[in-house]
Amino acid sequence: MTRPLSVPPASTSEPLVSPDPTRIPAHVAIIMDGNGRWAEQQGFPREAGHRAGVEAARRTIEASRDAGVRILTMYAFSTENWRRPMEEVEALMQLFEEAVQREAAELIRNGVQLRVSGDLHALEPGLRGHIERVMADTAQNHDLILNFAFNYGGRAELVHAMQLLAADLAAGTMTPEMIDEAVIGHHLYTTGLSDPDLLIRTGGEQRISNFLLWQLAYTELYFSDVYWPDFDKAHLFAALDAYQVRRRRFGGVEGT
């Protein structure tokens, strides 16, 4: 894996240079970080930062689709986020439910398929029902797969996969010799999706925070200092440009 690249935020006042369309990463994953710090800087409550973050997500989804990204995975709510104050957790749940309902028609019109990776069984039934309905309504769309990691944790995902495998072994439908990387991948929340080519994290932190631990094995990492509510098309294209100069060898030697 290439050394992670840390860059200052791209200036939206500069001319927007489109990335090479022949080298667009098929799958981009984003850790949307910095909502709370952005709100504090502005003198707003944290909820205002999360609402501004929803607008940044909308911009990024549209820009990703325009750029030719095929899969966009966005880290929306982690299993660790339940530790936040109850008022903030409730606000985040309400925001996600509002966004799913409000954007459903737009997703269908733009050919976007909604997926959610995470433990939906722990969610309030009304929210879970809204998510499942929109996923069903958009299941046949293929212009962009929009995958939200919601109530998601990388370690929890691996534990869940191991439990499923253990059940298969106990039922006699699988033997230990049958377990390989493909079988493990099939038992993950992201089954059917390719591994991310590029991970973007905003907010200045340089860690993956229990996100897609299995899937990020050979993903290129890009860190930006910009807070998520300020992230826009120029910042996305800066990340895509940085990705396009990387040389991905996957443990081999270039040219072989």
Identify the CA nearest to 189 among candidates 151, 220, 221, 141.
151
Structure-token pair, residue 229:
């509510």
**Residue 216, class by beta-carbon neighbours within 10 Å (0-12 exposed, 13-18 middle, 19+ buried)?**
middle
User: Choosing from 35, 66, 81, 232, which is the catalytic residue?
Assistant: 81
Strand-pair category, 27-31 with 71-78: parallel
DSSP state string for 166-202: HHHHHHTS--GGG--HHHHHHTSTTTTSPPPSEEEE-
* 154 DSSP β-pair partners: none
Cα–Cα separations (whole angstroms), residue 205 to 51, 108, 208, 223: 21, 34, 9, 7
Q: Distance between CA atoms of 232 and 38, rounded to whole angstroms?
A: 15
Confirm whether 81 is a catalytic residue.
yes
Q: How many CB atoms lie within 10 A of CB 214?
A: 15
Which DSSP letter does residue 5 get? E
224 with 201: CB under 8 angstroms? yes
User: Choosing from 33, 147, 151, 197, which is the catalytic residue?
Assistant: 33
Q: Distance between CA atoms of 145 and 7, rounded to whole angstroms?
A: 27
Confirm whether 33 is a catalytic residue.
yes
Tell me which residues are annotated as active site: 33, 81
